[in-house]
Structure 1
Amino acid sequence: MKMSEIIKAILFGIVEGITEWLPVSSTGHMIILDELIKLNVSKEFLEVFLVVIQLGAILAVVMLYWNQLFPFSFKKGEDTIRKDVFSMWFKVIAACIPAAVVGILFDDQINELFYNYQTVATALIVFGILFIVIENKNQTKKARITSIAQITYRDAMLVGLFQLIAAIFPGTSRSGATILGGILIGLSRTTAAEFTFFLAVPVMAGASLLKILKFGLAFSGAEMMILLVGMAVSFVVSVLVIKFLMNYIRKHDFKIFGWYRIVLGILVILFFTFR
């Protein structure tokens, strides 16, 4: 395996770590990056790589939010089972059901129909406009929900429906759709972002497992190295990006990401039209 393939895997890991958590569509960026720096791998492995590389990003969430995600306590004077954390996980699972069902039943059809630059560019622009419109509309509104504990099952299911949109239409951005949905139903920006992070854990883990099972476990040594490098880099970058995003949205809104999405969508159209 050439060193250039490792460098490419590092670049993919950097882009994944940045774009998975910012509401700008990791899929859209990955499609463009794949056009610019082709990995010298089979089409089947590339599909697995672009999904499984997200596991590194998941581990970043698990590490940063371990105290909020782990439902057991071993400290003296505290309950062994943290019921509030279990309650949160049940809500996360409820929110994931729509996307999980559609992903399991229609994964191949969705890839065939919608994984193209036209869909990605359209989703980037449409959701970019929505971010700007909704943030302008909500400037004077006070958030109804300011913590994860206040989220009801109804709220979780509604956010899950927005996640379903992202599961079907690449370029929507899973984090973008769920954050936007959360804000629409009354979640504060920080709460919507945190719930989006937590939703990512079962969604990405499930998607990765599904891709690995379809591919089989017959990875070559070179393929395994590319996967591990991409995951490791996406983990490190994700830690930095999640910390940045949470600090940013405490003082700013998401409109800048909306404008970025619109510009990127236009660039995607121009790139593929005139290449």
Structure 2
Amino acid sequence: MDAILLIKAAIMGIVEGLTEFLPISSTGHLILAGSLLGFDDAKSKVFDIAIQTGAIFAVILVYSQRLREVAAGLGHDARARRFVLNVAIGFLPAVVLGLLFGKAIKAHLFTPTVVASTFILGGFIILWAERRQQAGAGGQVRVQSVDDMTPLDALKVGLIQCLAMIPGTSRSGSTIIGGMLMGLSRKAATDFSFFLAIPTLIGAGLYSLFKERALLSMADVPMFGVGLLFSFLSAWVCVRWLLRYISSHSFTPFAWYRIGFGILILVTAYTGSIVWKD
């Protein structure tokens, strides 16, 4: 296996792990990083989706105690059953819309220009949501933890998650900010976003590997293994940091990052100083 290819796989894994659970779009960053590294052929697109599984293992590790409690309580604990039901309800819209529109979206929207535009738009939406909440215009927080969520809350968050099918939108950003606008606390919205990511990203990774299996061979195992490992390690660090961060901070800095980075992409593309490949 080419050492340069493994280095690229490691870089892409780090990018995935650091951006998957922040409201800044992992898919958008992977498209941009892949464009710069020349890691953007058909096989690399499967790689980008598959290594999300590594990031999810980090979430499973961080939330392992809660997940064990849920598994142990399914037979007798109504709270555990409601939790699983809510995650399943939140997951369903992504399955349906992904199967219906996923191919068309990948064919037409996975470009640096689209990513830059959605970076900027998403940044302004986060600023609006944060200022709305600080001004008290968003209504009272009615859901303090994921255990207080109703199936309707889960469905709404699941529908909002589908916006992340557009690259650059951010799955985490849409579910967390959307949840907050619907009355979830910052902690409840973040926790549910993480839990919802488990079936969503594992399902997407396995589906992509199965669908594009003709592109892959045993020679690709080291590349995928390196990507998964670095995705897991960087995501584990990032998730632990984010859970501490949200206890006393807003998402406003991420909004300004999105806006600034999106403008930078558009400027470099327009001036030709960086050739972003579609």
> How much has 1:140 moved relative to structure 2?
4.8
Counterpart of 2:217 (choices 196, 215, 220) is: 220
Residue 238 of structure 1: CA displacement?
0.7
Residue 271 of structure 1 deviates from its aligned partner by 2.8
Q: Does 1:229 align with 2:219?
A: no
Q: Deviations over 1:114-137 (max 9, x none)?
A: 111222112111110011111011
Cα distance per residue 1:89-134 (max 9 Å; x no partner): 2111111211110111222111112111222112111110011111
In the alignment, is the contact (CA less than 8 A) between 1:68 and 1:85 conserved in 2? no
The structure 1 segments of at least 4 consecutive aligned residues displaced by more than 6 Å after TM superposition are none
Report the secondary structure of 2:134's partner residue. coil
| Structure 1 residues 99 and 79: alpha-carbon distance in aligned structure 2, compared to 1, 3 A threshold | closer
- What do residues 122-161 of structure 1 show as CA deviations (whole Å, max 9, x unaligned)? 2111110011111011015442211110011111111111
TM-score by length of 2: 0.91
* 2:110 is equivalent to residue 131 of structure 1: no
Match of 1:84 among 79, 83, 97: 79
- Ranges in structure 1 where 5+ consecutive residues have no aligned partner: none
Q: CA RMSD in A?
A: 1.7
1:272 aligns with 2:269: yes
TM-score, length-normalised on structure 1? 0.92
Question: For 1:84-233, what aligned pairs fall within 5 Å after superposition?
Answer: 84-141=79-136, 142-167=140-165, 169-216=166-213, 219-233=216-230
Query: 8 Å contact 2:31–2:110 — kept in the other structure?
Result: no
Could you tell me how far apart the structure 1 residues matched to 2:6 and 2:112 are? 26
Going from structure 1 to structure 2, the CA distance change for 1:113 and 1:151 (only over 3 Å counts) comes to: same
Question: 1:10, 1:233 within 8 Å by CA — same for their partners in 2?
Answer: yes
Q: Identity, % of aligned pairs?
A: 38
Correspondence for 1:45 = 43
CA distance in 1, matches of 2:154, 2:117: 26
| Alpha-carbon spacing, 1:253–1:158, altered in 2? closer, same or farther (3 Å) | same
| Counterpart-to-counterpart distance in 1, 2:155 and 2:21 | 21
Instruction: Give the deviation of 1:171 after TM superposition.
Output: 0.4
How many residues align structurally?
268
Question: Per the alignment, in what secondary structure is the counterpart of residue 143 of structure 1?
Answer: coil
* TM superposition shift of 1:79: 8.2
Amino acid at match of 2:234: V
